[in-house]
Amino acid sequence: LLPDLQDKVALVTGAGSGIGRAAARMLAQQGMKVCLVDLKNERTEMTYQEIMDAGGQSIIADTDVSDAQRVAQAFEQAVKAWGRLDVVFANAGINGVLAPIEDMKEEDWDQTLAVNMKGTFLCVKNAIPHMKERGGSIIVTSSINGSRKFSNFGMSAYSTSKAGQVAFTKMAALELAQYKIRVNAICPGAIQTNIGENTLHTPELDKIKIPVKYPQGSQPLEHAPGQPEQVADLVAFLASEASSHITGTQVFIDGAESLL
Ligand code: NAD
């Protein structure tokens, strides 16, 4: 347990599934009140029910993180409910449409960057007014695809968005240090979640000549993808005072996948 998190308030995006869901449950287990932000869906309601059934406190804010107005409303909803905001996990993300660059449609490129990169910017922007006085911790979900390993072809938009999130995290950490707001990025390798469900591959993807046969999703430590709960442990650590001197950095959580 991380006792300093008790009774504090967290906002988690992408809280209905995968990493966000595991993190929301973990933060609630630490005694945090958790605002669940996601597109309207049943999984988010399940996360909510599970937290409430376990004696936790939670609310849902149906939100598209790329919609500036809705993001602002979600933050207001959380602060109105509990009077403060201490932790933001800017985690919602999509793989989007995977296609060779030559064939990638402008709207598909824009959509991936809007959710992953602009969504992160909007969350950090809206967190600042609520965290300025007391400080806080913001955690951004990037990926090893943003900086260390680019094994999946067709992911130029995704990788760009994930690299952008790391650059943005560093700038935000520098800018917000004066308010004792820490900002860190986590970079997972392959994690077993539902992210594949809405990933679209264009037929042109098969045209790309793969120069090297890269191992897909293999991780030296466990020879299997990681579990969302393993990522949630890292999120709780970065949320808490246990990481009080850590800001502006990226933490890889990938079983050494990025070193292959
Ligand atoms: P997931 O699909 O299981 O969960 C993502 C959640 O985000 C879903 O509930 C989805 O509804 C929500 N979401 C999608 N678009 C949204 C939007 N516009 N507004 C609000 N919510 C939205 O996937 P996951 O693997 O848990 O992904 C979480 C994060 O982890 C993403 O940023 C992803 O890029 C990153 N990541 C995942 C892996 C992996 O292997 N699963 C690896 C590295 C990084």
Residue-wise pLDDT tens digits, 95-107: 999 999 999 999 9
175 Cα: distance to centroid of ligand 1 (angstroms): 26
Q: What is the ipTM of this complex?
A: 0.99
pLDDT level of residue 212 (50, 70, 90 thresholds)? low
The Cβ of residue 197 has, within 10 Å, a number of other Cβ atoms equal to: 9
List all residues whose CB is within 6 A of at least one atom of ligand 1.
13-14, 16-20, 38-39, 41, 43, 63-66, 91-94, 115, 141, 143, 188, 190-191, 193-195
Is 158 a catalytic site residue?
A: yes
Nearest CA to ligand 1 atom 34: 93
Ligand 1: atom nearest CA of 19 is 26
What is the per-residue pLDDT across 116-162, written as a single tens digit (0 to 9) for each?
999 999 999 999 999 999 999 999 999 999 987 776 789 999 999 99
Task: Name the least confident of 71-75, 77-81, 255-259.
Answer: 255-259
Choosing among 1.10.1240.10, 3.60.60.10, 3.40.50.720, 1.10.3720.10, the CATH entry for 3-259 is 3.40.50.720
The predicted structure's pLDDT at residue 151:
67
**Which residue among 13, 17, 66 is best mutated to probe the pocket of ligand 1, counting the most ligand atoms within 8 A of its Cβ?**
17
Nearest CA to ligand 1 atom 44: 143
173 Cα: distance to centroid of ligand 1 (angstroms): 23
Nearest CA to ligand 1 atom 5: 14
> Domain map of the chain by residue range?
3-259
